Structure 1
Amino acid sequence: MRRPGIALTASSLAFALVLLDTTVVNVALPAIRDDLGASVSGLQWVVNGYTLVLAALLLSAGALADRLGARRMMRVGVAIFAVASSAAALAPSTATLVAAQVLLGAGAAALVPASLTLLTHAYPDPIRQARAVGIWAAISASAFAAGPVLGGLLVDAVGWRLVFAVNLPFAAAIALLLWRGVGETSRVARRGLDLAGQATAIVALASLTFALIASRSLGWGSPLVAGGLVLAVVAGVTFVAVERRGRAPMLPLRLFSSRAFSASTAAGSLINFALYGEFFLLSLYFQDVRGLSALETGLAFLPQPLVFALAGIPAGRLVARIGPRWPLAIGGALAAVGTFLLLGAGPDTPYSQLVISLMLFGAGGGAAIPALTAAAVSAAPPEQVGVAAAALNASRQTGGVLGVAVLGGMAHAGPQFVSGMHAGLAIAAAALTATAVLGLGLGASRRPARTELEPAQA
């Protein structure tokens, strides 16, 4: 591309839009509960309606980005995002809001793999590409950092509906950049869409999420919960069989023959499991247990996503120099320590103690994301970068869905909330420890070949 900087800006804003919706909505959950009368399970579906569809459609969206062109897919995604955001802002009930979040997830699914595909085509040189991925991650994470504060400000000043309407200016800016300065990527011919694989993936993830969320109110012995778990297993096994035998699978299983790809996708799932689950729990903890307002909650969260965002650029440069092994291992370990320290959080815990934990998690996550992204993308053949990016992000979003379902399901109303939160955070710390182990399992890091490019040129 002749103007790679514009492609980088458009890609970063697109992924930022996807992340912004997650953090903004979490801060608004108590206000949504009070206005629409939603239960804890309803709030879980408000969050997971978005992330579940995002996770389930990412693989097909990645294949479509390769087949139709990343620029075209981003245009479609931006249009869907704008329509769904308007519907969410006007939702009269919890069910309507969940439906709008489902549509919003479809738009996000079109944006995420296309944004990374556009980026890798704009920067074909491995060194510049690694640095660009670091910038992409940092700019995108800035939305994650701004989301809690922006969401809290909007909720306290106007109401929760504005947290969805705020997506519209972002969508307009991305559309303008795509129209003015971004060319289309090369397209890869494919035989067709893997409809059987897509259907079984949706059924497996949706039924598993339903069972995990419903178990809180119905109990594990409920026929509905048991049936959901059985359906999830059957659909998951069928998905693997379909992908193994299909002529045009949306997830080529041979990608997992690479240890780097397998480890990075697993690590991405574990990081988001801990991150999304922790964010859900702490949003309720700050407002229901400590009595903070939405804006005060956003400000309390700020150190974590801010450090997360700031760590992205140096982490991307470090990955370009030494490879992804140590950044991923150290990042996972830092995040695990930060989460472990939160196990002492109670109604009267000084915020100075909490902020150390939040910053450690932010630093660890900021170091790990560029590393696992670089590992996954570099392990894939050039013609399958879109599929590899989709698989990585699908694993991350699947982890986020399960994190909200599992850890959020441990939240109990009243005085038992803190003990349930501690149990959830302990599971999150274990998941992040496993991430560090997976980083070590990437094998010896090899330094990329040097070029004459300066870091500023990325």
Structure 2
Amino acid sequence: MKNQNYPDKNTIALIAICMATLMFSLEISSVPVILPTLEKVLGANLNDMQWIMNSYTIGCTTVLMAAGTLADKYGRKRILLITLVLFGIASLVCGLAQNTAVLIVSRFFQGISGGAMLICQVSALSHQFQEGKERSKAFGIWGIILGLGLGFGPIIGSGIVGLLSWKWVFLIHTPIAVLASILVYGNVAESKDPLAKRLDISGMVTLSLAVFGLTYFITQGGETGFTSTIAICIFIATAISFILFVWVEKNNAHPMFDFSVFKIRNFSGAVFGSIGMNFSFWPFIIYLPIYFQGCLGYDVLTAGLSLLAYTLPTLIIPPLAERLSVRYRPGIVIPSGLFTIGLGFIVMRYGSLAEHPDWITVLPGSILAGIGLGLTNTPVTNTTTGSVSSNRAGMASGIDMSARLITLAINIALMGFILVEGISSYLETVLAHQSPHSLALRSLAEKIASGSFDTLKHDFPQLAVLDPSGTIVHAALVHGVDWIMLYSGIGVWILSLASFITFGKNKTQKIL
């Protein structure tokens, strides 16, 4: 009887773990499409919307490297259960939030529990499925679910808003977390590592402070002034935190970041791929719905449908990427994928500047960018872990994920800054000579950047005279988004070149 029940238990365990990964991925890709809605119902400004996304990302980064150590030491099943419960509670608080401050704080705790939950899923799967064929199948299904959550998140989020309300984008995770916890408790096998290393608390704290400080400096710098006393103090504190992080990791007997792996060209070339994907593709998913809703006038559901062209290729291309990686080596495929992402942004930029822009004109660029990400993602993951010895694969994977999340957090903030600067530049050119002192152009630019124009003429009454048809406002937002697309395309091309040069001609290189 025991042997007959074992496969059933494994199947249920896999379902439970896939439910957890679906929640994690949906919270990355479903929330961006509801940000313009949050601007209306919660009065969120552009900075608030950036922090709603970035608090989740920074929370994930904070615990990412430590979660594996905690799971190894105290039990992978136990930590997975704890993170599921915490994720459900944090999601409940997010859904019940009445203001942006509560939502941002609860999103941070959602990110902490989500990041730890992601690492525990991998550990639990590795122990639960140890045989080659069964293991490959389990990880294949897990990867598909992760991709489905990221790919279909925008349409799922917009559909929930259309049928229910924005609150259910968060609240829906609470019952899922409860069900997943019950299934994990009854079916996932417990496992520990008796040789688990000590928790690198000093490394966690210094890295988290450095990431938070730089993100805060970029996000708030436009408002406070980059040369203001508070901004300079934050920048100095950020630099000190990063220097301390490097010092701590170099002097720690068991560091969570072993900088020696960057001497491996394949590893470093792949990390440039991690940075490149999150330099442009994933942070732009926050600003693309603002373009669809603010510039093209789409409702939230139509915007979600339009985003499918951006995300679906990321699900279809990875099998092809794997075959290409084997045939032509990652040192060719990863830089090519990054180049394709950059090309997608440049093509998308020209589509957005068409005489009569709509989702069709940005479709070719969206598809190209998605294809580029699909070509890059899986080869990057396989190369970072495959470039080091097996006992260091977990650490290599942690560096890969940290590089992605840190780059994502920083570029969400940078893109917001560039968007506002692009809008401000346009407004200064068109409106400044008409009303040099009476219009607060910076405040107007930040309001336009949020993508909601409903309250603009109430907050800035002179717009009724200066721009009665809203033509200038729409053109300013298009101009700001144009700056982001140009920044993204050129930036990822530079990273593509850096990746190609770093890989060099070495096909294999590994630390023993």
Q: Give the TM-score taking structure 2 as reference length.
A: 0.80
**Amino acid paired to 1:327:** V
**1:239 aligned to 2:300?**
no
Q: Which moved more, 1:89-98 or 1:323-332?
A: 323-332
The answer for the alignment partner of 2:360 in structure 1 is 352
Whether the aligned pair in 1 keeps the contact of 2:81 and 2:184 (CA below 8 Å) is: yes
The answer for the alignment partner of 1:225 in structure 2 is 231
Aligned partner of 2:100 among 94, 97, 101: 94
Aligned partner of 2:370 among 331, 347, 362: 362
Aligned partner of 2:416 among 408, 423, 438: 408
> How far, CA to CA, are the matches of 1:130 and 1:392 in structure 2?
21
Secondary structure at 1:411's aligned position in 2? helix
Whether the aligned pair in 2 keeps the contact of 1:308 and 1:363 (CA below 8 Å) is: yes
Aligned partner of 2:483 among 420, 423, 429: 423
Structure index of larger Rg: 2
Change (3 A) 1:74 1:316: farther
Tell me the alpha carbon deviations over residues 103-125 of structure 1, each in whole angstroms, 9 at most, x when there is no partner: 10111110222233444556778
Change (3 A) 1:91 1:197: same
The answer for the alignment partner of 1:298 in structure 2 is 304
> How far, CA to CA, are the matches of 2:183 and 2:272 in structure 1?
33
Q: Which moved more, 1:399-408 or 1:123-132?
A: 123-132
Whether the aligned pair in 1 keeps the contact of 2:296 and 2:357 (CA below 8 Å) is: no
Runs (5+) with no aligned partner, structure 1: 448-458
Tell me the alpha carbon deviations over residues 333-387 of structure 1, each in whole angstroms, 9 at most, x when there is no partner: 2211111112221483142221111111111112211111111122333333333
Tell me the alpha carbon deviations over residues 149-195 of structure 1, each in whole angstroms, 9 at most, x when there is no partner: 11111212222111101223442454355334433455152452222
The answer for the alignment partner of 1:38 in structure 2 is 44
Whether the aligned pair in 1 keeps the contact of 2:17 and 2:184 (CA below 8 Å) is: no
Whether the aligned pair in 2 keeps the contact of 1:114 and 1:386 (CA below 8 Å) is: no
Secondary structure at 1:221's aligned position in 2? coil
Whether the aligned pair in 1 keeps the contact of 2:272 and 2:499 (CA below 8 Å) is: no
**Amino acid paired to 2:78:** R
The answer for the alignment partner of 2:111 in structure 1 is 105
> How far, CA to CA, are the matches of 1:113 and 1:194 in structure 2?
16
Aligned partner of 2:284 among 278, 295, 301: 278
Q: Which moved more, 1:349-358 or 1:70-79?
A: 70-79
Whether the aligned pair in 1 keeps the contact of 2:155 and 2:305 (CA below 8 Å) is: yes
How far off is 1:135 after superposition?
A: 5.0
Aligned partner of 2:185 among 179, 188, 196: 179
Higher relative contact order (CA 8 A, sep 6+): 1
Work out the percentage of aligned pairs sharing the same amino acid: 24
> How far, CA to CA, are the matches of 2:275 and 2:302 in structure 1?
30
How far off is 1:252 after superposition?
A: 2.5
**Amino acid paired to 1:51:** T
> How far, CA to CA, are the matches of 2:230 and 2:158 in structure 1?
37
| Count of matched residue positions in the alignment of Structure 1 and Structure 2 | 446
> How far, CA to CA, are the matches of 1:32 and 1:281 in structure 2?
14
> How far, CA to CA, are the matches of 1:430 and 1:5 in structure 2?
45
Whether the aligned pair in 2 keeps the contact of 1:133 and 1:374 (CA below 8 Å) is: no
Pairing 1:392-407 to 2, within 5 Å after superposition? 392-407=400-415
Whether the aligned pair in 1 keeps the contact of 2:276 and 2:496 (CA below 8 Å) is: no
Whether the aligned pair in 1 keeps the contact of 2:55 and 2:108 (CA below 8 Å) is: yes
The answer for the alignment partner of 1:390 in structure 2 is 398
How far off is 1:136 after superposition?
A: 3.9
> How far, CA to CA, are the matches of 2:75 and 2:392 in structure 1?
13
Pairing 1:328-343 to 2, within 5 Å after superposition? 328-343=334-349
**Amino acid paired to 1:399:** T
Aligned partner of 1:201 among 196, 207, 231: 207
Change (3 A) 1:102 1:335: same
Tell me the alpha carbon deviations over residues 250-299 of structure 1, each in whole angstroms, 9 at most, x when there is no partner: 22223333222223233212211212321122111111111111111100
> How far, CA to CA, are the matches of 2:11 and 2:497 in structure 1?
35
**1:437 aligned to 2:497?**
yes
Change (3 A) 1:392 1:409: same
Question: What is the root-mean-square deviation of aligned Cα atoms in Å?
Answer: 2.7
Pairing 1:246-265 to 2, within 5 Å after superposition? 246-265=252-271
How far off is 1:139 after superposition?
A: 2.5
Change (3 A) 1:341 1:271: same
Whether the aligned pair in 1 keeps the contact of 2:419 and 2:483 (CA below 8 Å) is: no
> How far, CA to CA, are the matches of 1:178 and 1:288 in structure 2?
43
Tell me the alpha carbon deviations over residues 371-420 of structure 1, each in whole angstroms, 9 at most, x when there is no partner: 11111122333333333222211111111111110002222323422222
> How far, CA to CA, are the matches of 1:126 and 1:430 in structure 2?
42
Whether the aligned pair in 2 keeps the contact of 1:323 and 1:371 (CA below 8 Å) is: no
Whether the aligned pair in 2 keeps the contact of 1:260 and 1:379 (CA below 8 Å) is: yes
Change (3 A) 1:13 1:95: same
> How far, CA to CA, are the matches of 1:112 and 1:360 in structure 2?
28
How far off is 1:226 after superposition?
A: 1.9
Runs (5+) with no aligned partner, structure 2: 1-5, 421-447, 449-472
Q: Which moved more, 1:228-237 or 1:181-190?
A: 181-190
> How far, CA to CA, are the matches of 2:290 and 2:250 in structure 1?
42
Aligned partner of 1:16 among 22, 25, 28: 22
> How far, CA to CA, are the matches of 1:268 and 1:403 in structure 2?
13
> How far, CA to CA, are the matches of 2:273 and 2:38 in structure 1?
32
Change (3 A) 1:185 1:353: farther
> How far, CA to CA, are the matches of 1:109 and 1:253 in structure 2?
22
